[in-house]
Chain A
Amino acid sequence: MAELSLQHIDKIYDNKVQAVFDFNLDVKDGELIVLVGPSGCGKSTTLRMVAGLEDISNGRLLLDGRDITQTPAKDRDMAMVFQSYALYGHMTIYENMAFSLTLRKENPNVIHKKVLAAAEILGLTSQLNKKPAQLSGGQRQRVAMGRSIVRNPKVFLFDEPLSNLDAKLRGATRREILLLHKRLQATMLYVTHDQTEALTLADRIVCMSMGHVQQVGTPLELYDSPNNVFVASFIGLPPMNFYDVKVAGDALQGNGFKAALTAEEKKILAAYQGKEISLGVRPENFIEGDDIKVTVTNNENLGMNTLVYGSLGDTGVKVTAKLKGWKNYKVGDTAGFSIVRKHFFDKETTNAIRGDK
C-alpha cells in the first residue's frame, strides 16, 4: 500500500476565500485517518485535493515520496467512495464493480477474478446479478466500496460514506468498513462529521475547524487530552460542560459552585493562581456527590445510563451529567454531583492548560 504526506497545503478559491490553511499530515502505510469537523470546516475539500478533484493552491502532496501535487486524478492511483454511492442504475452490481477495469481494457478473466474476490470480501456474491435499485442503502455503499477494491488502489478515500444510511445500518456498515480495513491493511482517508464514526474507526483523528487543523491524535488522545475548547466540545457525546471559574488557592470558584483541586491539578494551574480559566467537565465525569448542587430540569433514562440536565443552583449555568444506572430525578429536584476528572483551558487562547508549558 502507500504512505501519504500532506505538506503545508492551502486551498484558496478564485474568489479569494480560503477553505484550508496550512494542512500538514503524514499518513503511514495501512493507517486509517479520519478527518472530522463540523460542516464547512474544509475536511471534504482536503480529501478532494488529495483525490485530485480540487487543485492544491499551495503546498505539496507526496505519495510514497513522489510529488503528485500536479498529477491528474486518474493517474493518482486512489479510489474514492462517495456519500451518494454514484452507481450506474442500468448496470448490474457485477457490471458496476467491473466498470472501471473494463474502461481500462483489462483482460475480462482478470476482471472477473477481481470482482468475485471483492464481492466475497464484502459479502455481495449473491447480489452480483441484481441492479442497484434492488439493494438496500448499506449494500449499495458496499458496492461502491467494491468498485474501489477491484482497482486495488494505493489509497482509499471515503467522503462521508455513511451519511445516507439510517442509524442502524450506519452502525453495521461502519463495522464492515473497519473489518475491511483490517483485512486489506490499506491506507485510508475517511471524512465524516460524525464523531462516533471518527472515534470507532480511526487509527488517528484529524479534527478540523474553519479550515485549520485543531488536533491530530488517536481517538483516546482527542477524548482524554483535547488541545483546545473546540476539540473538547466537538469530541464526546453529550458534549463537555464548560464553566468560567477562578483559581483560588486549593479550589476553583465559579458561579454557583466551588470545587477542590488535587495536588496535581494545583501544580498544573500554578501559573493561573487568581486568574479566570475555563473548566471543562465531561458529562460522564460527574458522579453523585456534594461538590455542586444542580436543579434538575430533565431526567432521561437510557437503560445503562441516565442523562441528567439541570442548572447550577439558580444561576442558570447549564449542567449535563451522565450517571451510571437508572436514576429517577424529578424536575425541580436538587441533585448533588462531584467531579472526578477536570479539563482546564486558558480563557483567552482557549488552549488546554497542561501545566508543562
Chain B
Amino acid sequence: MSVKTSEDKYIQRDRMRYIKNSACSNLCYLGLLADVFYFVLLYRQDVHTYYYTIQIGASVVYNLIFMLAVFLASEGVKNYKKNYSIVLLVAGVMQIVRIFVMPLKALRAPTTVNGIDTTVMSGKTFTLCLVYLGVSAAALLFSAALNFIRCSALEAHLKELEQTKA
C-alpha cells in the first residue's frame, strides 16, 4: 500500500468540493434495501391472526416514514449535509430497537399449527429478520458517522481555503 502524503490528503479533501458523497448515499440505499427484505419477510408470515393487530398498522406507517426519511437523507448526505447524519443515526438506532418489538415477541409467542405446539415465528425466520435489521442499522449508522466525518473535514477545508484567499 502506498503511503499518503500530506498533499494526497489535501487533494482528497479538495475533491469533496466536486465529488458527491456517494459512499454515504449508497450505504443509505443498502439500509433501505435490507429494511425492504425485512418487512417483506415479516408481512408474509401468516400464522393465524397474530400479526393482524394495531401494532402491524403502526409498523406499516413507520416503514413508510422510515423509507421516506432515509431516502431524503441519502440525497442530503450525497451533498455533504451534516444534519442528515442525525436523521440516519436515529433511523439506525430505531432499526435495532425494532428487533425487540415484533420479531422477538413473535419468536416468544406460542401457537398451535395442525395440533402441533410451536411459536409464531420460527427460529430461522427470526435469524433472517435479525440479519436484515442488523445490516440496515449498521449501514445507516456507518453512513451517519462517515457523513459526519466527511462534512467536518470539508467544512475545515473550505475554511482553510477562505483563509488562504483572504
| Residues of A that sit less than 8 Å from B by CB | 92, 94-95, 108-109, 112-113, 115, 128-129
Contact = CB atoms under 8 A, between A and B. Distances in A.
B11 interface: yes
Given A112-B18, A129-B18, 14 more contacts: A94-B18, A94-B19, A95-B19, A108-B15, A109-B8, A109-B11, A109-B12, A109-B15, A112-B11, A112-B15, A113-B11, A115-B18, A128-B17, A129-B17
A16 to B, nearest CB: 51
Interface residues of B, number: 8
A81 to B, nearest CB: 22
Contacts, number: 20
13 contacts: A92-B18, A94-B18, A95-B19, A108-B15, A109-B8, A109-B11, A109-B12, A109-B15, A112-B11, A112-B15, A112-B18, A113-B11, A115-B18
Contacts of A95: 18-19
In the A-B complex, the 5 residue pairs with the closest CB atoms: A94-B18, A109-B11, A112-B15, A128-B18, A112-B11
Contacts of A108: 15
Contacts of B19: 94-95
B62 to A, nearest CB: 33
B164 to A, nearest CB: 15
Interface of B: 8, 11-12, 14-15, 17-19
B82 to A, nearest CB: 18
Nearest to B11: A109
A148 to B, nearest CB: 19
A128 to B, nearest CB: 5
Contacts of B15: 108-109, 112
B15 to A, nearest CB: 5
Nearest to B5: A109
A201 B15 CA distance: 35
Most buried by B among A92, A109, A115: A109
Nearest to A94: B18
B43 to A, nearest CB: 35
Contacts of B17: 128-129
Contacts of B18: 92, 94-95, 112, 115, 128-129
A113 B7 CA distance: 11
